[in-house]
Structure 1
């Protein structure tokens, strides 16, 4: 599947337009099998969430660093540039209904790309972010709210670079993050396992 994406600005607001060029499910860029070769059995309170980030201007996937246990919160650091636009694609399997996404304090409009596959898109503007101090990392919240007050709230470890700093795009490219999720009786979603490709 190829997506035709464009971003327009109206009154200072960025709008993401997502179109499907080839609606062949076999061509989908999201990959569950790339994360695990064996089948995954999920009960009614579990789902898998796949997340992809890319630069909205270049369509290039974001870079990441393997930091080991240097910073405690995560072994993985996602790299972003300030004053930039990023596309975020979210897919749930089995399909889930989501309403809003908040990342790093920014409330984003979710656009439903494919109802059959529980796939959504959003655009994130990092103009309100400041560069991360050298030798440090930041934890930002990734909050996804679904139907029935189902809420996932997870910190992700990031580093923001000045837009002019090429280090933001150095390193290994992140194809996708897969979270194995479980919903409790109160609607809180916990991530029981994380995989990156």
Structure 2
């Protein structure tokens, strides 16, 4: 499978109401992934996707639901898009349990990129547990496209 293009995707999540970033904690090897992002149920979040060099995003599917995507920046060096994540209907995660939050990024040419975050859902308003830990500024994905297979492969994932 030949690589067509390499690019970097940076994804961030912030509370929509006040723009405050979410937090994560390091769980070590207790779960599937080393880090767990903390989210509250019944809360709206803004999810930002930034591409360098410029890539065209045509849509997003978050938690199996197609969400509206808005183009924020598109020039010769970079592009950026925003979507929304609403945790309405999610249940707080039981103690010692983590949930998988799937994301699908749809791109020009029918390319599909799939990734997921390990999350723990807290009760709405539970800032005592949800709003502490390390600030989740973003997650960076080093990617390469494989147009013959219609996929975007993730080469490296870095949490900042």
Query: How far apart, in 1, do the equivalents of 2:35 and 2:138 lie?
Result: 13
Higher normalized contact order (CA 8 Å, seq sep 6+, divided by chain length): 2
Q: Deviations over 1:127-183 (max 9, x none)?
A: 021111111101121100011110001122111111121211111111111001122
1:191 pairs with 2:150: no
Query: How far apart, in 2, do the equivalents of 1:140 and 1:59 lie?
Result: 20
1:69 pairs with 2:29: yes
Aligned-pair CA distance for 1:66: 0.9
Point out 4+ residue stretches in structure 1 off by more than 3 angstroms.
none
Higher strand share: 2
Q: Compute the TM-score of the two structures, normalised by the length of structure 1.
A: 0.75
Q: Compute the TM-score of the two structures, normalised by the length of structure 2.
A: 0.91
Query: How far apart, in 2, do the equivalents of 1:169 and 1:106 lie?
Result: 26
Name the residue aligned to 1:125: 86
Query: What RMSD over aligned residues (CA atoms) do the two structures have, in Å?
Result: 1.3
Count residues in correspondence: 154
Q: Deviations over 1:3-34 (max 9, x none)?
A: xxxxxxxxxxxxxxxxxxxxxxxxxxxxxxxx
Listed as ranges, the gaps of 5+ residues in structure 2 are: none
Report SS of the residue matched to 1:68: coil
Name the residue aligned to 1:109: 68
Listed as ranges, the gaps of 5+ residues in structure 1 are: 1-42
Name the residue aligned to 2:14: 54
Q: 1:175 aligns with which of 128, 131, 137?
A: 137
